[in-house]
Amino acid sequence: MKILITGIHGFVGGNLVKALGQSNEIYGLDIVAPEKEGVVKTFSWDDLDENKIPQVDAVIHLAGKAHDLKKTFGPEVYFKVNTGLTQKMYDWFLKSSAGKFIFFSSVKAAADFVPGDILTEDVVPNPVGPYGESKIKAEEYILSHPAADKQVYILRPCMIHGPGNKGNLNLLYGVVKKGVPWPLGAFENHRCFTSIDNLCFVIKGLLVKEVESGIYNMCDDEALSTNGLITVICKALGKKARIWYLPKGLMNGMAKVGDGLHLPLNSERLTKLTEDYVVSNAKIKKALGIDKMPIRAEEGLTQTIKSFTNTK
């Protein structure tokens, strides 16, 4: 197949090139255009405006503004990139001969926190903040412009990780490596993650199989507690996990003090560190005709953590 990948020089884009490049003709679209092994050519957004992009069989739209926890960007940046570029790319797809469009949205487009025990695709979207809001606006645009005789997939992945990833797992790894005890052991929360290997497996399936258009959550099969994640990191480092089970009331009180004194541990951060965020991937597995993802959650996380140890 001829496949166009936007945001091809990002973490996910690079892994998709490795996964798809040997048996497909890959083209890129990005704000930078260095030569990349496995990519025929990377085009600019100006090339898209000037209709210089060759006809392809499928479009994988990754380009977007990532969730910025430091809040250094204004809301308009998210809507310009996550919503605006998606509209532009989807409009191009509708006029092209491409038969498949895969848009990378986010679970945060559906919910900032999970209502109930598990998040499914049936939830009424209620994003909080410009990241999730800009993603749901992009989803709404796609859904309001159905593509006749074409297949359109909106993927909502949980946090994606893998070797080479520089996200929040890397930050947590740095803290654990220094031997700093984890003080929130009393909060036994569970979260879902997305291994890059499982993600590439799903993308391959969507490209080659006749899967019904729609919205699909994307995550590993198992949810892990933060305590379990700390244990995985320590195991990869050859260290003993240092988890302190301090009283919840004490930690909540310290977080409230942090609110007033603007300390690193405040109520918002405590909530993010200890909340449950369990997501169902049953719909995408059923659509692909599989019983389980190829990589277990702990296995994928271990691969990611070991990649940090090799680069530190």
The DSSP H or E segment spanning 291 is none
Phi, psi dihedrals of residue 231, rounded to the nearest 5°: -65, -40
The CATH number covering residue 60 comes to 3.40.50.720
Residue 312 has pLDDT above 60, yes or no: no
Residue 258 lies in a domain: no
Phi, psi dihedrals of residue 62, rounded to the nearest 5°: -100, -30
CB-CB contact of 135 with 233 (8 Å): no
CA 137/CA 306 separation, integer angstroms: 37
CA 172/CA 170 separation, integer angstroms: 5
Residue 204 has pLDDT above 60, yes or no: yes
Residue 166 has pLDDT above 90, yes or no: no
Residue 71 has pLDDT above 70, yes or no: no
Residue 301 lies in a domain: no
Residue 146 lies in a domain: yes
CB-CB contact of 163 with 303 (8 Å): yes
Residue 288 has pLDDT above 70, yes or no: yes
The DSSP H or E segment spanning 61 is strand 58-61
- In this predicted model, what pLDDT tens digit does every residue of 215-257 receive, in sequence order? 999 999 999 999 999 999 999 889 899 999 999 999 999 999 9
Query: Among all chains, which residue has been given the structure tokens 């025929």?
Result: 40
HSE value, Cβ hemisphere, 13 Å, CA-based, for 304: 30
Residue 312 lies in a domain: no
Residue 184 lies in a domain: no
Residue 142 lies in a domain: yes
88: domain range?
2-157
What does DSSP assign to residue 3? E
Q: How confident is the model at residue 311 (pLDDT cuts 50, 70, 90)?
A: low
Q: How many domains does the chain have?
A: 1
Residue 185 lies in a domain: no
HSE value, Cβ hemisphere, 13 Å, CA-based, for 26: 24
Q: List the one residue out of 233, 215, 205 whose CA is nearest residue 307.
A: 233
Residue 68 lies in a domain: yes
